[in-house]
Amino acid sequence: MTVDMSKGGDRAAEAPAPVDPRVRRRSRSAVARSAGGDRWLTVLIGLVLLLAGVGVALLSYGVFGAGRASRPLLDPIMLDIVAAEPLLWRSVAIVGGVLLAVFGLTWVARSVRPEPRPDVVLNGGADTTIRVSSAAAGEAVASQAETLPGVARARARLVGSAAAPALRVTLWLADDADVRAVLARLHDEVLATARASLDLRALPVAVRLELERPQPTPRVA
C-alpha cells in the first residue's frame, strides 16, 4: 500500500469545491428584492417623455422650419390620412389600447406582489413528503446564528423559488464583534447545518450586516 504524502495532494484535498456561477448569481440576487424591472421601465417611460417634450419644444421654436411650427396640432393632412382608412386606424387604436392596459396591469401586479417565501420539500421515502415551511427554516437558522459570539440579533428567511431557494440572513452585530470570525462561524456551523438539515446541495446565502443599537443608559440609578 502506498500513501501519498506530498503537500500538493493535501492542498487539493482541502481546496473548496468550485461554486456554480448560477449559485453565485443567486446569492447576489438574494441580497434584497430586485427593483431592476421597475427601474428600467421607469427609465424607459422617462426617456420617451423627455424625447417627446424636447422634440415638440424644438418643433415649436421652429428648429425644423418656421412653416411646420405654424401648423395646427391636429394637422388636416393627418386627419385626412386617418379618415381614409377608418377601420385600420380603429384596429390600431384598439390593439394599442389593449396592449397598454395589459402591460400596465402586469407591471402593477409584479410591483405590488409580495416577495415569494418558498417552502422546502424533503424526500421522506416512497410515499412520504416532508415540507419545511419557509418560516420554520428561517427561525431555525436565525436562532442558531444568535448563539454566535458577537451576534446580538439575527433574522433569516428563504427567498427565491421552491426549485431554487436561497437564504437571506440579517445579523445585528455588537460594536466589538469580530466580523471575519462571525462570518466564518456562520458559514462553517450555521449554514452547514442548514444545508444538511434541508437536504440542499446548494443553498446560496446573502448576509446583511447591521450594528445593534446601544442600549440607552438609565439617567437615574
Partner 1 sequence: MRAVLRVLAPLLGIVLATLGVLVVIEVVAAWVLPEQEGGLLVPWPEWGRVLAGLYWNDILVRGTAIGVGVVGLLLVLVALTARRADLRLVAPSDDMTVTTSPRVLARLVGTRVRASDDVLSASVTASERRVAVTAQAWDDAPDELRETLVDRVQELLTELPLRRTPRVAVSVQEREGVR
Q: In the range 140-179, which residues lie near partner 1 by CB under 8 A?
A: 175, 179
Q: Which of 9, 10, 12, 19 binds partner 1 (CB under 8 A)?
A: 19
- Using the rule CB under 8 A, is 88 a contact of partner 1? no
- Using the rule CB under 8 A, is 57 a contact of partner 1? yes
In this complex, which beta carbon is closest to partner 1, that of residue 7 or of residue 180?
180
- Using the rule CB under 8 A, is 35 a contact of partner 1? yes
Cα angle value 205/159/127 (rounded, 5°): 105
- Min dist CB 15 to partner 1, Å, is 12
Q: Which of 9, 10, 60, 83 binds partner 1 (CB under 8 A)?
A: 60
- Using the rule CB under 8 A, is 38 a contact of partner 1? yes
Residues in contact with partner 1, total (CB under 8 A)? Answer: 78
Q: Which of 81, 83, 97, 116 binds partner 1 (CB under 8 A)?
A: 97
Q: Within the chain, what is the greatest distance between any pair of CA atoms?
A: 98
Q: Please give the single-letter amino acid code of residue 32.
A: A
Q: Contact at 8 Å (CB) between 155 and 170? A: yes
- Min dist CB 97 to partner 1, Å, is 3
- Min dist CB 163 to partner 1, Å, is 17
Q: Please give the single-letter amino acid code of residue 148.
A: L
The three three-digit cell numbers of residue 192, written as one number: 452547514
Give the SS3 label for residue 55.
Answer: helix
String of DSSP letters for 176-187: T--HHHHHHHII
Q: Which of 9, 10, 48, 133 binds partner 1 (CB under 8 A)?
A: 48
Q: Contact at 8 Å (CB) between 185 and 198? A: no
Q: How far apart are CA 170 and CA 154, in angstroms?
A: 6
Site stretch for partner 1 (CB under 8 A), options 6-14, 43-51, 131-139, 155-163: 43-51
Q: Which of 7, 11, 180, 219 binds partner 1 (CB under 8 A)?
A: 180
x/- map, 108-147, partner 1, by CB under 8 A: x--xx-----------------------------------
SS3 of 130-190: the string is EEECHHHHHHHHHHHHCCCCCEEEEEEEEEECCCCEEEEEEEEECCCCCHHHHHHHHHHHH
**Closest C-alpha to 143, from 130, 160, 128, 156:** 156
